[in-house]
Amino acid sequence: MCTHHHRRDNQAVQAVKAAVAKPKMRNFRLVECEFPALAALNKLGDGSMQSANQVEDANLQTAVLICRALSTPLGLGPQACLVISGSATARLTQRARRAYSSVHSLREDGGISADEKNKVFVLVAPSGRDYQLAQQLASDGATVVLVNGFAKVSILCVNMLSH
Amino acid sequence: MREYAFALDACIVVQVSFSIPYIGTCFCDLCARALAQQDNKSIPAQATMAYYNKPLTYNSQVAGYLLRTYPSPWTTIDAVSRAVLGTATDDEILVPNTNTPDLRASVKLVQRAVDARAIAARNR
């Protein structure tokens, strides 16, 4: 399972790097990345705290890998900022701060200031509310990577209705 | 005539003279279009889907995957043989005005592959 996850993470990192270098729309670097965080798919929706924590940890692990891949090596230049959703748990924020140096929690640190808009942001497990922020940042010239946005209620609704 | 009003400011008017299935189809299509155009809580269509990995199930088992590794096209893969069952571009697979793929074509490909394998096994 480790090899499978390792391979998947590598694929995701390479794909994100390619998308950031040459996005679908020029000057709009909003990149999405979506995959089952856990190999055991039934854990994704079983409602238990243990499974939810495992999903959080798996998402965080991939997001940190993407952050490192998009940062200047050895910390000599700009670092990608790992952004934690305002609706994320305090546990996820704590774990993110332990795993990566540049972490911004939308709940604890507030919004992202205008002078930071040329940076690279990696949003882990964003909620519907964060999509507007991501879109705004990307419109203003920032690079934004969304990792596993699960709260796609409206999108799901569109899919169901169009079937 | 009956009027439907939504919180999304979409107002849809349906004539009762149409047959029920037709009303249902029109209603759903209009709802979908209204939501896709006015929804601010979704990832916009201009975004780039860099990596997408979706297991596709058939008969309660993972029978295939829809995989997208940018800049490669969207690829449907059989879970057993690992064969590529089909590929699609963004224009072909994404639901209009969204960044979400329509899974129906990929699911059909996977179902057909599973059925063909089952028939071949039975005839052996």
pLDDT at site B34: 47
Sequence spans of domains, chain B: 2-38, 51-123
| CA pair distance A94, B74, nearest whole angstrom | 36
| Cβ neighbours of A74 (radius 10 Å) | 6
Query: Which chain B residues are Cβ-neighbours of A33 within 8 angstroms?
Result: 49-52
Q: What is the pLDDT of residues A104-140, one digit of tens each?
A: 998 888 888 766 666 899 998 888 778 888 888 898 8
What angle do helix axes A49-70 and A90-99 make, rounded to 10 degrees?
Answer: 40
Are A8 and B53 in contact (CB < 8 Å)? yes
- For CA atoms A15, A17, A23, A28, the dihedral sign is positive
The residues, ordered by sequence, that sit 6+ positions from B73 with a Cβ below 8 Å of its Cβ are B87, B88, B89
Average confidence (pLDDT) over A73-98? 86
Q: In chain A, whose CA is at the least distance from the CA of B89?
A: A24
Say yes or no: A121 contacts chain B, CB-CB below 8 A: no
Would you say residue A3 has pLDDT above 80?
no
**pLDDT beyond 50 at A77:** yes
Q: What is the pLDDT of residues A15-30, one digit of tens each?
A: 999 999 999 988 899 9
Identify the CA nearest to A81 among candidates A69, A95, A94, A67. Answer: A67
Low pLDDT (below 70) residues in chain B: 1-41
pLDDT of residue B43: 82
ipTM associated with this complex: 0.83
pLDDT reported for residue A114:
63
Q: How confident is the model at residue A95 (pLDDT cuts 50, 70, 90)?
A: very high
Residue B24 near chain A (CB below 8 Å):
no
Residue A21 contacts B, CB cutoff 8 Å:
no
Average pLDDT, chain A: 81
Q: Does A18 touch chain B (CB under 8 A)?
A: yes
Does this model's pTM top 0.80? My answer is no
Please name the helix (run of DSSP H) or strand (run of DSSP E) that holds residue B4, with its range, or none: strand B2-5
Question: What residue of B is the nearest CA neighbor of A31?
Answer: B48
Confidence (pLDDT) at A2: 61
Residue of A32, A58, A54, A35 lying closest to A43 (CA atoms): A54
Range of the domain at A89: 2-162
Q: Which of B23, B43, B57, B98 has the highest number of chain A CBs within 10 A, making it the mutation to test binding with A? A: B43
**Number of structural domains chain A divides into:** 1
> Residue A50 has what pLDDT?
84
